[in-house]
Amino acid sequence: MKALPLRTRPSHQRGSAAIEFAMVFLLGVLPLLLITMTGVMIFAAQEALSLASAEGARAALQYGTTAQRQTNACNAAQRSMSWLLTFSGESASCTTPTTPGGTYVPIAVSAAAPCPTNAAATCITVVTSFDYDNHPFIPGTKTLYGWAMGSNLSSTATVQLDL
């Protein structure tokens, strides 16, 4: 018995599967991967900010004057979010927290003030933030993620002092 010949493509269609794969990859898969990677980087930045504010608040518990505690908090937060500061090219000069609509600072350490939940106690608040609008991880994704996260990523930690 004789085997049936395999269907062969005409010579003018050879290589069309490779071109179709390249188009699907470039227009479909690659943008999906870029969006996913940017989302992962935003999550990592938010986690770094949370860690930095918590470490800053913890460092404010070290013994010393209020000014020394504020400096300790600032230095600890700066160490914890150093990769974000390096990426954005910003310096972390610690200032008092800004009012809404004020100027942006990456690390803000408040002065010792009455705690929000217990006015008899004294607290220090550490706020860390990253301006994603001016420093997006992948250019062009600011518009994509802007509707979901706002302009700044930030984290806040408050610690009660034992004065």
The number of helices, as runs of H, and strands, as runs of E, in the chain is 5, 4
Q: Take residue 147 and report the two structure tokens written for it.
A: 């509707």
Of 73-77, 116-120, 137-141, the poorest mean pLDDT is in 137-141
- How far is the C-alpha of 142 from the C-alpha of 152, rounded, in Å? 11
- If you search the block for the tokens 């930030």, which residue do you land on? 154
Give the rounded percent of residues in the chain with a pLDDT score beyond 90: 21
Q: Quick one: how far is CA 111 from the chain centroid? A: 25
- How far is the C-alpha of 131 from the C-alpha of 153, rounded, in Å? 7
Residue 53 in this model has a pLDDT that exceeds 90? yes
95 - beta bridge partners?
A: 108
Instruction: Round the average pLDDT of the chain to a whole number and report it.
Output: 81
Q: Quick one: how far is CA 56 from the chain centroid? A: 17
pLDDT at 99: 47
Kindly report whether the global pTM for this prediction surpasses the value 0.85. no
